[in-house]
Structure 1
Amino acid sequence: MHRKNTGWAGVKRIGIDEISKRKGHQNFATVIGDVEAGKLIEVIDSHQQEDIIEILKQQPIEVRAKVEEVSVDMWGGFPKVVKKVFPNAVVVIDRFHVMKLVNEELNKIRRQSGVSDRGSKFILLKNGKDLTAEEKTKLEEILKRSKRLGKAYEWKEEFRAIYEQPLTVEEGKRQIQGWLDQARVVYSEASTTIRNHLDGISNYFRNRTTSGAMEGINNRIKLIKRQAYGFVNFNNFRERLLACFSD
């Protein structure tokens, strides 16, 4: 059955994400949002690749052909969905998911280095340019204790700085490859994942598209869920969500 949904008109950049349907359950729905407008355009009662493709293909090809960029995390299924459903779109791996990957490995290195001071994790993961004078002093003390942690922190900041520059896709790709060649000695896990998704990560530099708007959409969905005390019927839940975002 064709799913009535007019939210797709003229949409060029979308984000695909997942939400848990019930708290504490590994039971996910897939959320599609217009990242430019910050609006929800579809909710799918599945996290399975084939189900997502089947539902999205119910939109006319002329609508799907207008989508130019799809921002996703590095979950294996989403890029395949984009390829099957949106013929003219490129996959953009969300920069915040990539930075999260680097930060998680940095935090692991912090623990391995025996740094457990109160607030040390926060200071190491915070953007260096946003640190207060007091935090900078604390950071210097922390980094003196471990050469490996010091290099890891330096490379984290270098990686973040790449994203801040006005680069072309090719320039961005070259800079990330250069970073990988150096940083892999410390960031073994993150560098492997980044290398495997390098094209999608580099596509960020086309238009600096991110899934940032998806966080706002997901937070609003959670609020609607709480206000409704949960939905037994998914179709009713979907209709309610789409109606709330069409205001």
Structure 2
Amino acid sequence: MYLDNYPISSNSLEKFYHINGDQLGRQYKEHLSDYNSWAQRSHAEDWMIFPKNIGSCLSIDETSLSNGELYTILTNKAARGKKGVLVAMIKGTRAEDVIEVLKIIPLRQRRKVTEITLDMAGSMGQIAKQCFPKATRVIDRFHVQKLALDALQEIRIKHRWDAIDEETNDRENAVWDKEIYTPFRFVNGDTKKQLLARSRYLLFKSPEKWSQSQKQRAKILFAQYPDLKKAFGLTHDLRLIFSKTKDKAVAYTKLAHWYNKVTDSGFRSFNSISATIHTHYREILNFFENRSTNASAESFNAKLKAFRATLRGVSDIKYFLFRVAKIFA
């Protein structure tokens, strides 16, 4: 069942219309809908494709429907998550399999695609390159920033485990000496272990978005752990490059300087993002042409998960995909 662009379950109608939701669902599936005559029913679990929905700007991403089964999803940005957004939905992420299906779309249509946003998975890049030869490939800025944030959090977590070990040893020593253990507390009331645990979320945000208590906590944190202050500075500088820079050439220079700072910092946790920027810098810099991101694909994935939640899981994948096609394709 569906209402405009908002999927609903038949069971959700029970209390409003005093009907048997399960029975309505079966009636809709078997008689009211055209599920039994659906043209893509025979192969829907493996792939669905809607060439008429292709546009000049696409997004490609992966999502899990049930039991960890991954699907590669191609969406049209112009549809803004509404009807006509779904171009293709293909089981698996293996590049060769996805390419084989997407090549069903005539080449003249695929050549009309001028831009495609994606993450840094090698398979996604291969798919975009072979299926859309005229499209500029843009790596999503938020995936790049996430790598830097993960590296920062890795340093924080290492310090937290050290603080936990330190507190455990001090507590055991107090018991051995028959003393009452009282942990040291900073001026804001945090112990060292609490300081590192409670700093998690403030490290994700820009300093201007910190609350007063977060500003105080950050001041204490950075005084105690200068390496965290330095690592946070690197992640914040990267955020500013993406948010403030408008010109691609300027961004190239700034990104090169940032790369050198990361190299000079000696942080092993930042090795992953250094390698990523070195490998994908062209696709990363393409962001500064139109400032395109993969947010539309992430939004569509969220809608699929919300739809799945209203059904309390997916028991009949083929029928679920039929409903997805009805609403979004």
TM-score in terms of structure 2 length: 0.68
Quote the residue 2:326 is aligned against.
243
Equivalent position amino acid for 1:129 in 2? E
Query: Tell me, what secondary structure is at the counterpart of 1:121?
Result: coil
Q: Is it true that 1:85 corresponds to 2:168 in the alignment?
A: no
| Alignment-derived partner of residue 225 in structure 1 | 308
Distance between the aligned counterparts of 1:71 and 1:223, measured in 2? 23
Once the two structures are overlaid, the 10-residue window that deviates more, 121-130 or 153-162, is 121-130
In structure 1, distance between residues paired with 2:259 and 2:106: 41
Higher helix share goes to which structure? 2
178 and 217 in structure 1: CA distance in 2 versus 1, 3 angstrom threshold: same
Residue-by-residue CA offset, 1:99-139 (whole Å, 9 max, x unaligned)? 11100000001122346424211111122332123312211
1:111 aligns with 2:157: yes
Give the alignment partner of residue 30 of structure 1, picking from 53, 59, 72. Answer: 72
Change (3 A) 1:231 1:49: farther
Residue 88 of structure 1 aligns with an amino acid whose one-letter code is K
Aligned identity (percent) is 26
* Pairs within 5 Å for 1:195-210: 195-210=278-293
Change (3 A) 1:63 1:129: farther
RMSD, aligned α-carbons: 2.1
Kindly report which structure 2 residues correspond to 1:8-157, keeping only aligned pairs within 5 A, or say none. Answer: 8-9=53-54, 11-23=55-67, 25=68, 27-36=69-78, 37-38=80-81, 39-114=85-160, 116=193, 117=195, 118-157=197-236
Residues 239, 59 of structure 1: alpha-carbon distance in 2 compared, 3 angstrom cutoff: farther
Task: Tell me how far apart the structure 2 counterparts of residues 83 and 77 of structure 1 sit (CA, whole Å).
Answer: 10
The question of whether the paired residues in 1 share the 8 Å contact of 2:65 and 2:305 is answered with no
- Aligned partners of 1:4, 1:201: CA distance in 2, in Å? 28
**Are the counterparts in 1 of residues 59 and 297 from structure 2 also a CA contact under 8 Å?**
yes
Larger radius of gyration: 2
The match for 2:181 is none
CA distance in 2, matches of 1:48, 1:204: 25
Please report the TM-score for the alignment, with normalisation by the length of structure 1: 0.89
**Separation (CA, whole Å) in 2 of partners of 1:7 and 1:119:** 50
Q: Deviations over 1:166-222 (max 9, x none)?
A: 422232222111101111322222212222111111111010110111122111112
Deviation at 1:8, TM superposition (A): 2.4
Paired residues for 1:168-183 under 5 Å: 168-183=247-262
* Matched-pair contact (CA < 8 Å) for 2:49–2:87: no
Report the more deviating stretch, 191-200 or 219-228: 219-228
Q: Counterpart of 1:143 in structure 2: which amino acid?
A: F
Comparing 132-141 and 206-215, the one that deviates more: 132-141
Q: Is the 8 A contact 1:173 1:199 kept in 2?
A: no
2:207 and 2:277 map into 1 onto residues whose CA distance is: 22
Residue ranges of structure 2 left out of the alignment (5+ in a row): 1-38, 41-47, 161-191
Counterpart amino acid of 1:15?
Answer: S
Asked whether the equivalents of residues 95 and 123 of structure 2 are also in contact (C-alpha less than 8 Å), the reply is yes
Cα distance between partner residues in 1 of 2:249 and 2:324: 39
Q: Which runs of 5+ in 1 are unaligned?
A: none
Q: Does 1:214 align with 2:297?
A: yes
